[in-house]
Chains A and B, each alone.
Chain A
Amino acid sequence: MAPLFQYGFFDNDASLLIALIIGIAFGFILEQAGFGSATKLAAQFYGRDLTVFKVMFTAIITALLGMFWLGWAGVLDLSRVYILPTYLVPQLAGGIIFGIGFVMGGYCPGTCCVAATTGKMDGWIHFLGMIAGIALFGEIFPLLEPFYSSSSMGQVTLDAYFSVPYGVAVFAVVVIALAGFVVAERVERKLNSIPVAEK
């Protein structure tokens, strides 16, 4: 039965070794996908290169379908997988702020570590900026706390929120992602056919 750690298959020290291995795989794939480059990541927001969208949604539907099937087969106890609680308005506001930081700085927290480790100076500077931003948040936390804790909805998932079966929600996300890939390929082809002529 899985999650293995929850069922006591190994202890806390072993879990840290697993963290290291999973982290290495995570960093390796991010770098291979081109996510150690800010110009590659930022191109997403100018429509030239939609790799960010493609990688992210392929990863989401892969893990989602894996969860669904392992849960269905009775191998994985889905209720034992930790879901972050929803705080709707602060997460919406945080996402808007995060998006500005993304297109301005060119990285997200994980990818800036990959950029830094492959020698990008802007990755290092972005990392230092994040340290400062988190410390700033920490320093004014007492002021922010009422907003930070507002609109609490608990651990709520899309299927529960829209009162549809889990399988239906999984199917809908997969269909939307696949449709998104078709659109993404068309947008890239269209936008990239113009600059080639200008070169």
Chain B
Amino acid sequence: MFKSSPYMNPYVAGVCLGLVLLAAFVIMGRGLGASGAITSVVAVGVNAVSPSHAQGSAFYREYLPENKNPLKDWLVVEVAGLVIGGFISGLFSRRIKLTVDKGANASNRQRLLLAFFGGIIMGFGSKLARGCTSGQALTGGALLSVGSWVFMLAVFASAYAFAFFFRKEWN
């Protein structure tokens, strides 16, 4: 068995991440994102099942441009890159492993159930906030957007406030 490499120093990783974000600003005039691309996938899925339903919704329509493939979108391609980059990094540092990541005392079933419901809550929240940790907290944070800072502080405050209830999942 090969031993996986240690993680990068957080401040070094932060500077690297900041430079990628800065590159996006300088080259494209826009920042990074994640939840928007996942919404495009949802909108395309709904449109495939029921085009009339998707076209009748102001929410889905925004992610379904008329004259082009909705998946040929900057954010969707960026997230496709994110998936590839994460995999390359995992290979590089020997961290690709089929596993369930959880605290030592949590069961797989409990962890997967909470991952699913946590995902539902997060997906919903990201839409209400018009973005996630990438598009709002990181990008909007660096652009000093008022709404992004309110979002970021709310995320941290809320996660700390509710951490007590999920302590058994992570211990």
List residues of A whose CB falls within 8 A of some B CB: 2-6, 15-16, 18-34, 36-40, 42-46, 51, 53-64, 66-67, 70, 75-76, 80-88, 90-123, 125-138, 141-142, 144-145, 148, 153, 155-159, 161, 166, 169-170, 173, 181
Q: Contacts of A112 on B, CB cut-off 8 Å?
A: 119
Q: List 28 A-B contacts (CB under 8 A).
A: A27-B82, A27-B88, A31-B86, A31-B89, A46-B167, A54-B11, A56-B137, A63-B22, A75-B26, A86-B148, A88-B150, A94-B125, A95-B129, A95-B158, A96-B154, A96-B155, A99-B125, A104-B114, A107-B119, A119-B98, A120-B101, A123-B115, A126-B122, A130-B119, A137-B123, A137-B124, A157-B143, A170-B144
Q: Contacts of A22 on B, CB cut-off 8 Å?
A: 20, 23-24, 27-28, 32, 78, 81
Q: Is the CB of A23 within 8 A of B133?
A: no
Produce 1/0 per residue, B127-138, CB < 8 A to A.
111111111111
Pick the 9 closest A-B CB pairs, nearest first.
A129-B119, A23-B81, A105-B118, A58-B14, A62-B18, A133-B123, A94-B129, A95-B154, A99-B158
CA distance A97 to B72 in the complex (A): 30
| A122-B79 in contact given A58-B15, A109-B132 (Cβ < 8 Å) | no
Q: Contacts of B100 on A, CB cut-off 8 Å?
A: 120-122
Q: Contacts of A127 on B, CB cut-off 8 Å?
A: 38, 119
> Which residue of the partner chain, among B90, B144, B146, contacts A31 with CB atoms under 8 Å?
B90
Q: Contacts of A21 on B, CB cut-off 8 Å?
A: 81
Counting chain A CB atoms within 10 Å of each CB, the highest count among B45, B46, B88, B166 belongs to B166
Q: Is the CB of B87 within 8 A of A57?
A: no
Q: Is the CB of A119 within 8 A of B96?
A: yes
| A102-B122 in contact given A125-B115, A125-B116, A141-B58 (Cβ < 8 Å) | yes
Q: Is the CB of A20 within 8 A of B80?
A: yes
CA distance A148 to B118 in the complex (A): 21
CA distance A16 to B156 in the complex (A): 33
Q: Is the CB of A29 within 8 A of B16?
A: yes
CA distance A158 to B144 in the complex (A): 5
Q: Is the CB of B18 within 8 A of A63?
A: yes
Q: Contacts of B84 on A, CB cut-off 8 Å?
A: 20, 23-24, 27, 117
Q: Is the CB of B151 within 8 A of A18?
A: no
> Which residue of the partner chain, among B17, B82, B144, contacts A55 with CB atoms under 8 Å?
B17
Q: Is the CB of A32 within 8 A of B130?
A: no
